[in-house]
A and B are shown apart, each in its own frame.
Chain A
Amino acid sequence: DQQVKQNSPSLSVQEGRISILNCDYTNSMFDYFLWYKKYPAEGPTFLISISSIKDKNEDGRFTVFLNKSAKHLSLHIVPSQPGDSAVYFCAASSNSGGSNYKLTFGKGTLLTVNP
């Protein structure tokens, strides 16, 4: 059972435009969400996170939106740059029980930003 889903395996956008990466989750106990970026042959790099008590968090060109009722979050990158081309992973964790050390990851979305 996949609890974190990234339904778009790939996304292509033009440089300077907005990139919107989507993520859905099924576990209503998730209360902390993260986005990671991964280049080939490297480990994932942390980008931005959001707690379930908020619905938006912004860091420079990156903004994460959380819609708890829809169990949906998205990452907006504005403006997109060619160096943003990478695989983006959505991840979630729950503070309940003993599971709050575990991040559950989606399968990733390959973003390509074309010059």
Chain B
Amino acid sequence: SQTIHQWPATLVQPVGSPLSLECTVEGTSNPNLYWYRQAAGRGLQLLFYSVGIGQISSEVPQNLSASRPQDRQFILSSKKLLLSDSGFYLCAWSIDRNQPQHFGDGTRLSIL
């Protein structure tokens, strides 16, 4: 069966520091991969998606970037974190578009 791993579960970072969140999927090949963010009091917002290695699409302009160095690895990064980057970050995968997306357990990011 397929599993998705996301780490760390919580992270506290100072403003201006870099960020790297990692997500890996097991048990499937060539999945679509997604990064979402949930800010306080808001719904989940899609940040990036990827349909293959090295293919990244950005949904909203922001201080973050994503990379997919391997088929089942998706990384969310920032060179300099802002206070507004605080939130709950979720990675997800799907077999194809218009198929359910399956989520990891998320990373709670707090910026001080």
A interface with B by C-beta (< 8 Å): 2, 4, 32, 34, 36, 41-46, 49, 89, 91, 93, 95, 100-108
**What does the 1/0 interface line of B18-38 toward A look like (CB < 8 Å)?**
000000000000001010000
CA distance A32 to B99 in the complex (A): 9
Q: In the complex, are the beta carbons of B43 and A49 less than 8 A apart?
A: no
**Which residue of chain B has the shortest Cβ distance to A106 in the bound complex?**
B43
CA distance A85 to B93 in the complex (A): 25
Q: In the complex, are the beta carbons of A101 and B49 less than 8 A apart?
A: yes
**Among listed B64-72, B77-85, B103-111, interface-contacting one:** B103-111
How many pairs of A and B residues are in contact by the CB < 8 Å rule?
56
Measured between beta carbons, the chain B residues less than 8 angstroms from A34 are: 100
Tell me if B98 is interfacial: C-beta within 8 Å of chain A: yes
Tell me if B51 is interfacial: C-beta within 8 Å of chain A: yes
B17 to chain A, nearest CB (A): 24
- Do A102 and B49 contact each other (CB < 8 Å), given the known contacts A4-B43, A42-B105? yes
Please pick, from A32, A46, A91, A93, the residue contacting B102 in the complex, using a CB distance under 8 A: A46
Measured between beta carbons, the chain A residues less than 8 angstroms from B104 are: 43
Q: In the complex, are the beta carbons of A108 and B43 less than 8 A apart?
A: yes
A44 to chain B, nearest CB (A): 5
A10 to chain B, nearest CB (A): 14
- Do A89 and B100 contact each other (CB < 8 Å), given the known contacts A42-B105, A101-B34, A102-B49? no
Measured between beta carbons, the chain B residues less than 8 angstroms from A101 are: 32, 34, 46, 49, 51, 57, 97
**Which residue of chain B has the shortest Cβ distance to A32 in the bound complex?**
B98
Nearest 6 A-B pairs (CB), nearest first? A43-B103, A105-B43, A105-B44, A46-B100, A100-B97, A107-B43
Q: In the complex, are the beta carbons of B98 and A93 less than 8 A apart?
A: yes
**Which residue of chain A has the shortest Cβ distance to B4 in the bound complex?**
A43
Please pick, from A44, A49, A95, the residue contacting B103 in the complex, using a CB distance under 8 A: A44
Tell me if B101 is interfacial: C-beta within 8 Å of chain A: yes
CA distance A44 to B25 in the complex (A): 16
